[in-house]
Amino acid sequence: MDVKYRLRFNEGNVHESVAYILVTKFDVVPNILKADVKEDGGVMILSMGGDSDNIVRAIEHLKGLGISIKTLDKYIDMDPELCIDCGACVSVCPTKSFKFNPETWEIELAMETCVACGACLTACPTHALEIQL
Amino acid sequence: MKTVAGINEKIKAGKAVVVTAEEMVDIVRSKGAEKAAEKVDVVTTGTFSAMCSSGAFLNFGHSDPPIRMTNILINDVQAYGGLAAVDTYIGAAQLTDKPDGGYGGGHVIEDLVAGKSVALRAWGPGTDCYVRRSIDTRFTLDDINEAYLYNPRNCYQNYSVATNGSDRTLHTYMGKLLPRMRNATFSSAGQLSPLLNDPHLATIGVGTRIFLGGGVGYVAWNGTQFSTAAAERNGVPVSGARTLALIGDLKGMSRDFLRGLDFHRYGTSLAVGVGIPIPVLDAGVAARAGISDGEIYANMTDYSLTERDKPTLAQYSYEELRSGSVEYDGHTIRTSSMSSYKKARDVANTLKGWIEAKEFLLSEPVQPLPAENRLGTLEVR
């Protein structure tokens, strides 16, 4: 599974065509998972595939453009104090990242497949899920 | 044939054999119902799910000078002001007056059992005998005279599986339903569920002592919308049928088994943990309590249809529903549970522990629940 990154844009760099740069200058394959970018800036979540040296160089280049980049390893916080293991999140997740443990019937969230879409947030009746972006 | 009194003697002597309804499945399968009835004395059941028709009666005690409260807000959630001076009822589905929403009567009940202090604001007309016209204070569960859960409809015997045949996402009390039948939700503990293990209420009636919200409660009456008319498969209804009205002391309950819920764009509710012990009096009781998820079915309906009576699209067993997906009309529908099987297990195991520790005795019903009852409808005249 490709590593995912959060890119934060500001007014000065919001016009940069990140996907084009990654493909043409660094031979990196971007997959934009989520983007909320307006004329004064915003946030994009993308994964990058390809040669790891190229990805490192690509990240340095993007940072040079003033785009702040953070590696994402956890997108959804699940509060065990609030979760009641009902399962309301399971069938609404497009990447099937929530699963029942077949022994304990507890909900397990696979971060490696989560794409931070947020579909689960409004499905949870105990507000146990929070998106970390 | 065994008797409840005889089983209680065994419980007191520490000799009763108590199993959960999940464990009973294998026992009946391997030994048969006759042998299972000889071996097992009590089967404990459990469920933990949204039960919107729940709430609590509270008595605050009198302030000095006293007030006859007619408008009552607890943590900005309206409670009923039509009882005597300082009595009230707070319903689980009552939403906060605050514009942000997301909080309601179910959350107030959860906060109270968690030991939290809640805000009380109340107003009254001011009378010769109750001169005070308003009060603004705080209280905890320990501060007030009485607090008892009284739930007019809990433990629905079975429930529809909900899907959505429309082109837009629906937000319902059955959760988030994705367009074009991309998912379906169900809400039952299936083989652990109290009323699916004694489907004709041979052992459950008014006065049955139960596990309620982490404490001890009782069956008060039949629940509202109690119906005996549902179609059955393997001896259990395939849709909503019998229900129970339950009562118990909130002061003995726990947040582990009472949780406020907020269904996005629907409203609030209360998740209630209920467990009913079934005395295994004979082979018939044993056979019924040994039913498995593969033998209990539920009807799927389309929640995008707005009429009252929605046609049944398909019927699935809880084993199929729990597998994560079902097939319908040539395509796969992903399935989600809205009721917690893990918590249902916790309920059944906790009740089992109480009985084994001689802390909980079984009671005989003082009156049976209706053997026949049909659902009426509200006609617009």
- C-alpha span between A32 and A130 (Å, rounded): 21
**Dihedral sign computed on CA atoms, order A117, B48, A106, B332:** negative
pLDDT of B30-89, one tens digit each?
Answer: 999 999 999 999 999 999 999 999 999 999 999 999 999 999 999 999 999 999 999 999
A127 CA: distance to closest CA in chain B (Å): 8
For residue B174, give the amino acid letter: M
Whether residues A68 and A80 share a domain: the answer is no
Kindly state whether residues A49 and A86 are assigned to the same domain: no
pLDDT score of A33? 84
Q: Are residues B121 and B23 in the same domain?
A: no
- To test the contact with chain B by mutation, choose from A84, A89, A107, A127 the residue with the greatest count of B C-beta atoms within 10 A, namely A84
pLDDT tens digits, B329-360: 999 999 999 999 999 999 999 999 999 999 99
CA terminus-to-terminus distance, chain A: 19
Backbone angles phi, psi at A33, to 5 degrees: -95, -30
Q: Are strands A41-49 and A29-38 parallel, antiparallel or unpaired?
A: antiparallel
CATH of the domain at A15: 3.30.70.260
A9, A41, A52, B328, B365 from A64: Cα distances, Å: 12, 16, 18, 53, 77
More confident site: B205 or A16? B205
Q: Note whether B176 contacts A123, CB cutoff 8 Å.
A: yes
Q: A92 CB near a chain B CB, below 8 Å? A: yes
Q: Do both A24 and A54 map to the same domain?
A: yes
Whether residue A126 lies within 8 A of chain B, CB to CB, comes out as: yes
- B341–A105: do the CB atoms touch at under 8 Å? yes
Residue A133's pLDDT band, with cuts at 50, 70 and 90, is low
Is residue B336 situated within a structural domain? Answer: yes
Query: Do B336 and A87 lie within an 8 Å CB cutoff?
Result: yes
Same domain, A57 and A79: no
Q: Are B119 and B221 in a shared domain? A: no
CB contact under 8 A, B338 and A90: no
Pick from A56, A72, A88: which residue ends a domain?
A: A72
Contact B261 A85 (CB under 8 A): no
Q: A7 with A63, same domain?
A: yes
Round to whole Å and give the CA distance between B344 and B351: 11
B139 and B158 within one domain: no
Q: Which of A55, A72, A89 is the last residue of a domain?
A: A72
User: 């522990």: which residue's tokens?
Assistant: B353
SS3 of residue B179 by DSSP: coil
A99 and A46 both lie in a single domain? no
Q: What is the largest CA-CA distance in chain A?
A: 52
Q: Are residues B79 and B106 in the same domain?
A: yes
Q: What are phi and psi of A49, to 5 degrees?
A: -115, 155
- With respect to residue B86, please indicate whether it lies within any of the assigned structural domains: yes
Q: Are residues B309 and B250 in the same domain?
A: yes
B196 and B333 part of one domain: yes
Please list every residue in chain A whose beta carbon sits closer than 8 Å to the beta carbon of residue B348: none
- Cα–Cα nearest to A114, from A129, A88, A93: A93
Burial of A47 (0-12, 13-18, 19+ CB in 10 A): middle
Identify whether the C-beta of residue A115 lies closer than 8 Å to the C-beta of residue A33: yes
As a whole number, mean pLDDT of residues B311-322 equals 97
> Quick check: is B378 in a domain?
no
**Candidates B265, B322, B342; nearest CB to A106:** B342
* Site of tokens 């199993």: B19
Residue A84 forms contact with B (CB below 8 Å): yes
pLDDT score of A34 = 83
**Band (A1; pLDDT cuts 50, 70, 90):** low
**Residue that terminates a domain, selected from B113, B129, B144:** B144
Structural domain including A132 reads: 75-133
The average pLDDT across B248-274 equals: 97
Q: Which of A86, A99, A122 sits opposite B338 (nearest CB)?
A: A86
Residue B127 within a domain = yes
Residues A61 and A83 placed together within one structural domain of the fold: no
Apex CA A115: angle with CA B49 and CA A12, to 5°?
130
Name the residue in chain B with its Cα closest to that of A90.
Answer: B336
| Beta-carbon separation of A87 and B340 below 8 A | yes
- The chain B residues in contact with chain A (CB within 8 A) are 48-50, 102, 171, 175-176, 178, 182-185, 259-265, 269, 271, 322, 324, 334-343, 345
Which of B129, B371, B378, B380 is an active site residue?
B129
With H, G, I as helix, E, B as strand and everything else as coil, classify residue B289. helix
CA distances from B47 to B98, B211, B367 (A): 32, 10, 24
Q: Is B335 found in the same domain as B188?
A: yes
Least confident of A36-40, B7-11, B87-91: A36-40
- Do A27 and A67 share a domain, yes or no? yes
Q: Give, for B105, the enclosing helix (H) or strand (E).
A: helix B105-113
- Domain holding B41, by residue range, is 4-51+150-361
Q: Is B129 a catalytic residue?
A: yes
**B305 in a structural domain:** yes
Q: Are residues B82 and B31 in the same domain?
A: no
CA B166, chain centre distance (Å): 30
Task: State how many domains chain B has.
Answer: 2
Closest CA to A106 of B274, B257, B345, B316: B345
**Maximum distance among all Cα pairs of chain B, rounded to whole angstroms:** 72
Does B298 map to a domain? yes
Of B261, B336, B341, the CB nearest to A126: B261
pLDDT tens, position by position, A111-122: 888 888 889 999
Q: Are A127 and B50 inside 8 Å of each other by CB?
A: no
Q: What is the Cα–Cα distance from B245 to B111, expressed in whole angstroms?
A: 23
Instruction: Select from B122, B144, B166 the last residue of a domain.
Output: B144
Mean pLDDT value of segment B244-255: 98
| Same-domain status, A108 and A129 | yes
Residues A54 and A92 in one domain: no
- Encode pLDDT of A65-112 as tens digits: 999 998 887 778 999 999 999 999 999 999 999 999 999 999 999 988
CA-based nearest residue in chain A for residue B267: A125
